[in-house]
Amino acid sequence: AQSVTQLDSQVPVFEEAPVELRCNYSSSVSVYLFWYVQYPNQGLQLLLKYLSGSTLVESINGFEAEFNKSQTSFHLRKPSVHISDTAEYFCAVSLGGGGNKLTFGTGTQLKVEL
Amino acid sequence: DVKVTQSSRYLVKRTGEKVFLECVQDMDHENMFWYRQDPGLGLRLIYFSYDVKMKEKGDIPEGYSVSREKKERFSLILESASTNQTSMYLCASSRSGFSGNTIYFGEGSWLTVV
């Protein structure tokens, strides 16, 4: 079975500073990787996903994540955060081969301060 | 835009009551999901349905059942609510056929069992 580890439960950062949210996964088969974001009192929205091809994937609001197969990681980064990025971020993995069921990490609360 | 609608945002129920959480999606998706979200535990899959009248247990099905009589509607049932089922419940849907398909979430239902 696959699992996802998000080691940081909370990450405080000042506005305009860079940030990295860490995600590691374990799986013996090929996987698809996702980052979802949850703003206060809302459901989850897809931020970005890695399916195949280029290991660096980007979102429309400046986040990027790099798939590293050797380190089984999919860390999320942004070079300069904004106060509106304050949210909870979830890393998730889906096994190849059908089913489309996601296994989620425990989430990282990003708090951007002025 | 895909819309997943959960009928109740906030519910308060008594121990032992039968509780229905309703979810409707408008994109003709084959897959529908119920997740439970708890602080520090992330999202955990309760049940998954890949077609009308078809269901599959997730990671934590105990104490829950589901119903899918129509493609667009997926109901979560707590037969006899208990205080340890106080949580945020998230419904989701996706197209079938590929594990990398995006899963779309509703805004969640906060259930308190007293």
DSSP string, B21-72: EEEEESS--SEEEEEEEETTTEEEEEEEEEETTEEEE-S--TTEEEEEEETT
Q: Would the pLDDT of B72 be above 70?
A: yes
Q: Supply the pLDDT for residue A77.
A: 97
Least confident span in A68-72, B16-20, B80-84: A68-72
Q: Which of B4, B48, B108 sits opposite A101 (nearest CB)?
A: B48
- How is residue A60 annotated by DSSP? T
State the pLDDT at residue B56: 93
Is residue B58 within 8 Å of B48, Cβ to Cβ? yes
Section B83-108 average pLDDT: 93
Does A107 contact B42 at a Cβ distance shorter than 8 Å? yes
* Contacts with B51 from chain A: Cβ below 8 Å: none
For residues B57-69, average pLDDT:
96
Q: Chain B residue with minimal CA distance to A6?
A: B42
Residue A29 has pLDDT above 90, yes or no: no
- Does B106 sit within 8 Å of A98, measured CB to CB? no
From the list B4, B100, B105, the residue facing A49 with the nearest CB is B100
pLDDT band at A1 (very low <50, low <70, confident <90, very high): confident
pLDDT at A2: 78
- CA A19 vs CA A65, A78, A109, B89: distances in Å: 12, 5, 12, 29
- Residue B42 pLDDT grade (very low, low, confident, very high; cuts 50, 70, 90): very high
Partners of B24 on chain A (C-beta within 8 Å) are: none
